[in-house]
Amino acid sequence: KAGVTQTPRYLIKTRGQQVTLSCSPISGHRSVSWYQQTPGQGLQFLFEYFSETQRNKGNFPGRFSGRQFSNSRSEMNVSTLELGDSALYLCASSLAPQGGYNEQFFGPGTRLTVL
């Protein structure tokens, strides 16, 4: 089975621009979660989508948004980029629809640099 894929792997943007990142989950996985990883804050939860609905959201501003398509692929969007948005953005997919062990399988991430 193919793992979680994320595109692009690297991205350089300037302040004020917007960006869209893409994630394809493992086949059969319907839950997709997004995380931001920075050296100072570590891994922080952004949001989770299940069956095209946002089921959970972390403490990030409204500039961060996402969506999920009927094939479970997900995108996240960051508008009006700030320098502090530079991070590794990780997507994870999970088989469990709710609760359970919540084992999540991560993609390689998208490294976003904001200049």
Partner 1 sequence: TQLLEQSPQFLSIQEGENLTVYCNSSSVFSSLQWYRQEPGEGPVLLVTVVTGGEVKKLKRLTFQFGDARKDSSLHITAAQPGDTGLYLCAKGAYGSGNTGKLIFGQGTTLQVKP
Out of 7, 51, 80, 102, the residue judged to bind partner 1 by CB under 8 A = 102
Say which DSSP state 84 is in: G
The reply to whether omega before 39 is within 30° of 0 (cis) is no
Binding mask 1-30 for partner 1 (x = CB under 8 A): ---x-x------------------------
Q: How far is the CB of 80 from partner 1 (least distance, A)?
A: 25
| Alpha carbons 48 and 67: distance in angstroms, whole number | 9
Say which DSSP state 62 is in: T
Residue in the block written with tokens 């320098």: 83
Cβ(76)–Cβ(62) below 8 Å: no
Cβ(14)–Cβ(75) below 8 Å: no
Listed ranges 12-20, 40-48, 59-67, 74-82: which one lies at the site for partner 1 (CB under 8 A): 40-48
- C-alpha dihedral sign at 49, 53, 59, 61: positive
Q: How far is the CB of 99 from partner 1 (least distance, A)?
A: 6
Q: Any contact of residue 55 with partner 1 (CB under 8 A)?
A: yes
Q: Any contact of residue 113 with partner 1 (CB under 8 A)?
A: no
Out of 14, 38, 56, 71, the residue judged to bind partner 1 by CB under 8 A = 56
Q: How far is the CB of 85 from partner 1 (least distance, A)?
A: 18
Q: Any contact of residue 64 with partner 1 (CB under 8 A)?
A: no
